[in-house]
Amino acid sequence: MKNALDELVRELSEIYDVESKNTYVTLYIEKESDRKFFEKRQNACKAVLSGDERKNFIKTMETINKFLEKNVDFKGAIFGSNKYQYFKTIELPVKINNSLIVDSSPYIRPLARIVDEWESFTLVLLNSNYSKIFSISLGKVEQEKNLSADIINKHKKGGCSQARFQRLRKGAINAFFSEVKDALTKIADNQIVLAGPGQAKLQFKEMLSNKLKNRIVAIIDISIDDEKELLRESINLISELEEKKSLSAVKQLKEEILKDGLASYGIEQTLQAVKNGQVELLIIQKNYKIKGIICEHCQVVKTGFLRNCPVCRGPVSEVDVIEEILEFAKRTDASIEFTDDKELEKLGCIGAILRFK
């Protein structure tokens, strides 16, 4: 699901209306009981819009409301524009803040944060004769494969009989592990967590290709029957790894700055770098916003307030500059990292590792 979400964010980042500043409606909704909030927001937006923009908003909201009437349990994001006959929805199994935004392009920041903060991974639970493989994306668990084998028990007799018995048993276990490995190879395209009791998981790891071994981020010792605890523990573990990744990104940024390397920081410098396609990794302080303007005609973005575009002298729209930076980043295939690290505040709350200078 995360891959589909990432692709949607990229698609949305490409959309903007050069003719009008209030074309697209974005709605994030947590639960049905919150829809009074949207009625209030809908009425407020109608009151301040006029002309064709108001007509487009009313028609777009009619489409959105019809969808919500048919899907009363919907929780997620909706993007629409009657003017361009555009309508896209995605359900989200994670907590989101309610919002309704009208702008010249879809509002992607909440989705970009979800992509960053909710790492997808594959969980393998196994012992010598039983395995379950789970795909976990955005905190949602899906069982992909359930495998088992009839492995003969340990032999208690001595002599050649015992040695032969152990060879047969080892061969049966290896055959079972090969079956699990084949299933995992087809499923796993992200991080892997191995779990289970005893040595079986370590023996299984040694059978994997280097490509799969390099994707293993954790090995958990746990009973084969304790699935609920395992799922909770593995999701927490991945969350901790994501937090460490964001701290590591800020550390890397500081190191690049100290050696005058491939780094930019501060709003103006980072904005210019992302527009030029220089950014490999964009790092943003969570919840950081800064007002500015955009000229939809020539795509000039500036912080602060201007009545006209400094390049073409055309009309401008007020924007959250961070949202515009995120859109530029997605269009140029830059990775995005949100962080709580206070060290980034000293650098202007935003920075980037660059591809080139």
Lowest mean pLDDT across 96-110, 138-152, 267-281: 138-152
| Average of per-residue pLDDT across 84-92 | 93
Domain boundary among 51, 82, 117: 117
Instruction: Read off the pLDDT of residues 175-224 as tens digits, 9 standing for 90 and up.
Output: 888 999 998 988 878 899 999 999 999 999 999 999 999 999 999 999 88
Query: Could you report the per-residue pLDDT of 344-356, keeping only the tens digit for each?
Result: 999 999 999 999 9
298 and 357 in a single domain? The answer is: yes
How many angstroms separate the Cα of 279 from the Cα of each of 19, 208, 289, 342, 350? 28, 35, 19, 22, 12
Least confident piece of the model among 75-79, 109-113, 153-157, 337-341: 153-157
In degrees, to the nearest 5, what angle opens at C-alpha 260 toward C-alphas 258 and 262? Answer: 110
Average pLDDT over every residue of 253-262: 95
- CB contact set of 74 (below 8 Å; sequence gap of 6+): 29, 67, 68, 89, 91
Among 70, 88, 117, the domain-final residue is: 117
Residue 328 scores a pLDDT above 80: yes
Share of the chain above pLDDT 90, in %: 49
- Where residue 302 sits, what CATH number does that domain have? 3.30.1330.30
Say which CATH number the domain at 182 has. Answer: 3.30.420.60
Using the Cα atoms of residue 119, residue 243, residue 280 and residue 317 in order, give the sign of their dihedral: positive
Pair (93, 31) in one structural domain: yes
Residue 239 lies in a domain: no
The per-residue DSSP string of 49-92 comes to --HHHHHHHHHHHHHHHHHHHH-TT--EEEEEETTTTEEEEEE-
The number of domains in the chain is 3
Nearest one of 97, 62, 61 to 76, comparing CA atoms = 97
Cβ 202 vs Cβ 128: under 8 Å: no
**At residue 5, does pLDDT exceed 60?**
yes
230 is a domain residue: no
Q: Which domain holds residue 175?
A: 119-225
Judge whether 100 and 78 are in contact, CB under 8 Å.
Answer: no
Is 151 found in the same domain as 108?
A: no
CA distance linking residue 115 with residue 104, whole number of Å: 23
CATH of the domain at 92: 3.30.960.10
Structural tokens at position 264:
């930019």
pLDDT at 156 > cutoff 60: no
Cβ pair 202, 127 in contact under 8 A: no
Tokens of 67: 């969808």
pLDDT, position 155: 47
Q: How far apart are the first and last CA of the chain?
A: 35
Q: Which pLDDT score, from 0 to 100, does residue 146 have? A: 78
Query: What average pLDDT does the structure give for the chain?
Result: 87
Pick from 48-57, 108-117, 126-135, 152-161: least confident: 152-161
Mean pLDDT of 75-81: 94
Quote the longest CA-to-CA distance of the chain.
Answer: 94
Q: Which of 297, 278, 215, 283 is nearest to 16 (CA)?
A: 297
User: What is the predicted pLDDT for the residue at 34?
Assistant: 67
